[in-house]
């Protein structure tokens, strides 16, 4: 019984397998002949012809004589190619730098006028801006400009940099040569567009304010030092000058002349030394003026006349301080005053 059941089970399996194979073949044959419209995939090729199953549209086949509408071909993609041109970054940088250099060249006449204006203002402080050097680009090409020396007297104390930035601003900066003069350092800026001589002068003046203050202070300090030295030098000869004048007046009294000091010797800033001013009088008339000055190594006596026709009567003589005596100085003073005294006496006798 068991063997019979096993044989039947195997036979059933074989029969089922055969039926499945036959059914699969039938299905394959049918699918090759008909394609249902609901199952038809979208054709990738526009030339593929689609056949309608007889079961669709009521089971009627299309009339073979009816012309079939042609399937329009799929339009080809004709998008224009991108024509965006990207310039070389290096070329762009070079063009921008060239534009700055050309603008700098155009500003030179205005900057020169501004420098001249500022130099005229700074002249009393013995401060000046020198001529321009060759223009060049600064570190990291942030600006294009040139250096000038800032002079105090004949000494160069700092660099002045005038520079046109790539942002369109003109900048001025001062950098001292020595760290102990760092108080000179300063900077200022102004828009390059519309720059004129007045604006350039204001820009430089603002940048040079610390340097001008420093120069004025140094000048006052130097002047005070020279004045003190001159005062001490005059004190060393003041007694001799006083005695010499007394002796000269004693000799000139017989001729009706005398030398009258206006005031004690005083500091003359323009001359950087002390000077005594006197009047030369003949018979009560002021006929000339005398100066007695203390030079570093000499005493100077000068007589000037008011009448240009008597200019040949003026005198200027010097005497070494070393070994100078009262008598020698008195003779020098009298000899310088005597020509104009003698002429005045003669003119009076002629009248």
As given in the structure block, the two tokens for residue 78 are 């004709």
The tens digit of pLDDT for each residue in 234-293 reads 999 999 999 999 999 999 999 999 999 999 999 998 888 999 999 999 998 999 999 999
Its domain, for residue 316, covers 236-350
Reply yes or no on whether the pLDDT at 74 is more than 90: no
Tell me: do 305 and 253 sit in the same domain: yes
Q: Is residue 264 part of a domain?
A: yes
Tell me: do 188 and 240 sit in the same domain: no
Tell me: do 283 and 345 sit in the same domain: yes
> pTM value?
0.50
Tell me: do 212 and 322 sit in the same domain: no
Which DSSP string do the residues of 210-269 spell out, in sequence order? HHHHHHHHHHHHHHHHHHHHHHHHHHTTHHHHHHHHHHHHHHHGGGTEEEEESSS-EEET
**Which of these three, 186, 216, 246, is where a domain ends?**
216
Reply yes or no on whether the pLDDT at 225 is more than 80: yes
Tell me: do 172 and 262 sit in the same domain: no
Tell me: do 266 and 306 sit in the same domain: yes
Tell me: do 164 and 195 sit in the same domain: yes
Q: Shortest CA distance to 132 belongs to which of 150, 156, 117?
A: 150
Longest CA pairwise span in the chain (Å): 192
Mean pLDDT value of segment 202-228 = 90
Q: Is residue 71 part of a domain?
A: no
Tell me: do 150 and 196 sit in the same domain: yes
Tell me: do 204 and 247 sit in the same domain: no
Q: Is residue 178 part of a domain?
A: yes
Partners of residue 149 on adjacent β-strands: 159
Tell me: do 251 and 180 sit in the same domain: no
The tens digit of pLDDT for each residue in 153-188 reads 999 999 999 999 999 999 999 999 999 999 999 999
Asked if residues 262 and 292 have their Cβ atoms less than 8 Å apart, the reply is no
In the chain, the number of structural domains is: 2
Backbone angles phi, psi at 175, to 5 degrees: -130, 115
Query: Which of 67-76, 155-164, 222-231 is predicted least confidently?
Result: 67-76
């Amino acid at each position: 019984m068991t063997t019979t059941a096993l044989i039947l089970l195997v036979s059933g399996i074989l029969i089922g397998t055969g039926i499945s194979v036959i059914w699969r073949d039938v299905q394959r044959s049918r699918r090759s002949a008909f394609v249902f419209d609901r199952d038809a995939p979208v054709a990738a090729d526009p030339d593929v012809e689609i056949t309608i199953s007889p079961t669709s549209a009521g089971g009627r086949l299309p009339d073979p004589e009816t012309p079939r509408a042609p399937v329009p071909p799929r339009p080809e993609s004709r998008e224009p190619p991108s024509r965006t041109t990207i310039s070389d970054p290096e070329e762009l940088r070079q063009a921008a730098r060239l534009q700055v250099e050309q603008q700098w060249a155009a500003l030179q006449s205005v900057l020169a006028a501004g420098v001249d204006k500022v130099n005229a203002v700074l002249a009393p402080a013995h401060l000046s801006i020198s001529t321009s050097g060759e223009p060049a680009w600064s570190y990291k090409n942030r600006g294009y400009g040139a250096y000038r020396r800032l002079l105090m007297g004949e000494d160069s104390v700092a660099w002045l940099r005038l520079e046109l930035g790539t942002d369109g601003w003109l900048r001025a900066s001062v950098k001292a040569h020595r760290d102990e003069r760092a108080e000179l350092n300063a900077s200022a800026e102004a828009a390059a567009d519309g720059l004129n001589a007045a604006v350039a002068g204001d820009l430089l003046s603002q940048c040079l304010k610390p340097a001008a203050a420093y120069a004025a202070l140094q000048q006052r300090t130097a002047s005070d030092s020279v004045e003190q030295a001159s005062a001490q030098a005059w004190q060393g000869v003041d007694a001799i000058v006083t005695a010499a004048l007394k002796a000269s007046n004693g000799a000139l009294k017989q001729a009706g002349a005398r030398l009258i000091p206006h005031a004690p010797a005083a500091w003359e800033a323009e001359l950087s030394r002390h000077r005594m001013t006197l009047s030369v009088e003949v018979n009560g008339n002021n006929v000339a003026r005398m100066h007695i000055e203390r030079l570093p190594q000499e005493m100077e006596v000068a007589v000037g006349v008011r009448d240009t026709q008597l200019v040949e009567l003026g005198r200027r003589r010097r005497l070494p301080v070393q070994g100078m005596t009262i008598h020698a100085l008195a003779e020098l003073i009298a000899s310088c005053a005597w020509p104009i005294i003698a002429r005045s006496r003669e003119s009076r006798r002629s009248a």
